């Protein structure tokens, strides 16, 4: 299973992600997690706790091919010069 999501650096927040595909299929909506919430207090379980629980409850992790994405709007950003 692969996830693909072009990311537009010039758009704010969730608007930066669009045309998200999971294994080549386009669905109406996907749930996403993010690492930071700015200066707001996050609600719910931290994402790393959820990942830990998931990994503890599966017998093994099969070899995976990493997913990649395309960054849009960073062509002239020196931090992404070779991206």
What pLDDT does 57 receive?
A: 92
Note if the pTM is more than 0.85.
no
H-helix or E-strand spanning residue 7:
strand 7-8
User: Which among 63, 62, 73, 80 is positioned nearest to 6, based on CA atoms?
Assistant: 73
Reading the chain (83 residues) residue by residue, the pLDDT tens digits are: 677 778 888 888 778 877 777 776 666 666 666 666 565 676 788 878 888 998 899 988 888 777 777 888 888 877 776 64
């Amino acid at each position: 299973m692969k996830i693909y999501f072009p990311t537009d650096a010039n758009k704010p927040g969730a608007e930066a992600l669009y045309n998200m595909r999971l294994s080549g299929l386009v669905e109406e909506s996907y749930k996403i997690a993010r690492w930071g919430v700015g200066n707001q207090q996050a609600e719910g379980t931290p994402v790393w706790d959820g990942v830990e629980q998931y990994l503890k409850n599966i017998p093994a992790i099969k070899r995976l091919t990493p997913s990649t994405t395309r960054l849009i709007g960073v062509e002239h950003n020196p931090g992404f010069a070779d991206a």
